[in-house]
Amino acid sequence: MSTLDHNNGPTMEAGAGWRKNCWAKARRELLSTLPIEILRVRVARAKELGLDYTSYASIRAAGGHDVIAFLFSSNALRVFPKTPEMPADRLHKLAEITDCNRAVAVHRPLTPENLRPYQVLDHAFAAPRSTDTWIETRNQILTYLQTLTACRATATPRKSAHESLQAV
């Protein structure tokens, strides 16, 4: 039973090290060893997305699916009301992402239309307000994701994002 000032840290009971060893061994045995061909394909996919393989593998392991989109905020892309032009480093990084949707949640007072001229972005939508509840925020993002999934199912894969960057 927890008492005041108890942080629920690791147990101090005897055998904790042995239990940790058993769990680690079971986890290693559970994870399959991938054939080299599949590993090469996944390393190439990580490179397409601009991720290191370790990050890409952990995303795949957590979700069980490939990455279909990156969601950025207008703040992360450094697009603000007083400086509405996206910095060149952000444009080039977005252009490096291939065969994956690039979406942006646009914070007010900007609107999604402010970011539509950037051909390196596939989708833009209004970001939830900071005053929205967690449930409202979740529902808005889920609604957007359902729209994105429907668009992804009907879209044809793009050749290269660098061609899009040249149009800007």
Residuewise pLDDT in 10s, the chain (168 residues): 556 666 666 667 788 888 888 888 877 776 667 788 888 999 999 988 888 898 898 888 888 888 888 888 999 999 898 888 888 888 888 888 888 888 889 999 998 888 878 888 888 889 999 899 999 999 998 888 887 767 655 555 444 444 443 444
Helical (H) or strand (E) element with 106: strand 101-106
**What is the structure's pLDDT at 135?**
95
Q: Where are the domains of the chain?
A: 33-67, 68-168
Cis peptide before 10 (omega within 30 of 0): no
Q: Locate 61 and state its tokens.
A: 């392991």
120-152 burial code (b ≥16 CB/10 A, e <16): bbbbbbebbeeeeeeeeeeebeeebeeebeeee
| pTM, 2 dp | 0.61
In terms of Cβ atoms closer than 10 Å to its own Cβ (0-12, 13-18, 19+), residue 61 is exposed
Distance, in Å, from the CA atom of 146 to the CA atom of 67, rounded to the nearest integer, reads 15
**What is the structure's pLDDT at 152?**
58
